[in-house]
Structure 1
């Protein structure tokens, strides 16, 4: 009798040990199907949203969500800073309807409480595509405000201007374009798809006032 009791007791101890080890080990999962994931700090502050198209969020300011109907076409990830305010994201979309392509992707990083200063962009409409790195100026003031106690995007807050474009243009040229504080192109280095190359200097109307070619 004591022998069997010993076996049972030993088996019970082994079972308890296995249970404790399993409880201490993080769970693993091969596949996870969800429509949206919210990643939060221990205090509840939202830091990242990963979502499909139909549940992609609006903008966020200090934890309050702002409706953005213009964002209901992509899937992606939204980045938020320590205060729960949007400061960048990664979005992508792509489909073909009636033989026409509409696709693209964008990775952006925002200035504090303002819009994107760095963007990695790709677009494709089937006939033309473009891929570029774009650097922009943004004002120091916040693009958000409070209306009736709710966060909102301030009207006329889309300030700043693109300052640098580096990439492949829609006409398949390799381009380095430098812009002034108003966003106007003032200097451009281009290599066309046939190999023709030049450095162009432009005035404030967009006209080329000087061009330097390979033989200059």
Structure 2
């Protein structure tokens, strides 16, 4: 090896060492402005998407994105499992429409390859608002199917039903409601705005068949 070749080779090795050291060292940024961030595993599997409203993703099934333009009303985060399939998310939105609030937020956790079974929900329409924990049933089946080699959300499937609601209703009552497998309320514990409390039993059509108050 000549003198000059030695210098060039040595410089190249130093440059590579500096590059590798820089790559291994975490980068620090004071401010980052982005429209969307995709978080992936080393093998490329997508695990989370953080996005503004206009770049919010569709559904994901085993790494394949399914277009959902109906979702682009809120910013948020989409969670994906080890297979690259959607399994929950956090969204939020809020604006004034004709001088009236139209806002809300939702944190959800999904059953494997199905829809949400646990939700924290807040919704504000100005004169009425709701804040609640909602637990739902979902079938042990995938909500996705392959059509012509592409993933899509099934048009026909067992959608499940809400089974428990605990929170503040739109009429500002505190409510714990237990529902049957069809989502029909069957027992409701309620405290109204004025402090009136009751335990209500309902039939399979949702009508109160017995009500127990403090004096009964």
Runs of 4+ in 1 over 4 A off after TM superposition: none
Distance 1:25 1:148 in 2: 45
| Number of residue pairs matched by the alignment | 199
User: Contact (CA 8 Å) 1:129, 1:170: kept in 2 or not?
Assistant: yes
| Aligned match of 1:197 | 197
| Aligned match of 2:106 | 106
Distance 2:151 2:188 in 1: 40
Distance 1:121 1:200 in 2: 24
SS at match of 2:54: helix
- Provide Cα deviations, 1:114-157, integer angstroms capped at 9, x if missing partner: 00000000001111000000000000010000111111001123
| Aligned match of 1:142 | 142
Distance 2:27 2:38 in 1: 19
| Aligned match of 2:55 | 55
Structure 2: runs of 5 or more not aligned: 1-14
In the TM superposition, what are the counterparts of 1:1-216 in structure 2 within 5 Å?
A: 23=22, 25-157=25-157, 159-216=159-216
Distance 1:169 1:120 in 2: 14
Distance 1:200 1:156 in 2: 34
| Aligned match of 1:8 | none
Structure 1 position 69, deviation (Å): 1.8
SS at match of 1:70: helix
| Aligned match of 1:5 | none
Distance 2:117 2:126 in 1: 28
Distance 1:70 1:40 in 2: 25
| Aligned match of 2:12 | none
User: Contact (CA 8 Å) 2:139, 2:158: kept in 1 or not?
Assistant: no
Distance 1:191 1:132 in 2: 15
SS at match of 2:156: coil
Distance 2:35 2:69 in 1: 18
Structure 1 position 25, deviation (Å): 3.7
SS at match of 2:166: strand
Distance 1:211 1:199 in 2: 6
Structure 1 position 215, deviation (Å): 1.3
Structure 1 position 158, deviation (Å): 5.5
Structure 1: runs of 5 or more not aligned: 1-15
User: Contact (CA 8 Å) 1:115, 1:158: kept in 2 or not?
Assistant: no
Distance 2:160 2:25 in 1: 50
User: Contact (CA 8 Å) 1:167, 1:176: kept in 2 or not?
Assistant: yes
Cα RMSD of the aligned pairs, angstroms, is: 1.6
- Provide Cα deviations, 1:84-107, integer angstroms capped at 9, x if missing partner: 000000000001022122100000
| Aligned match of 2:8 | none
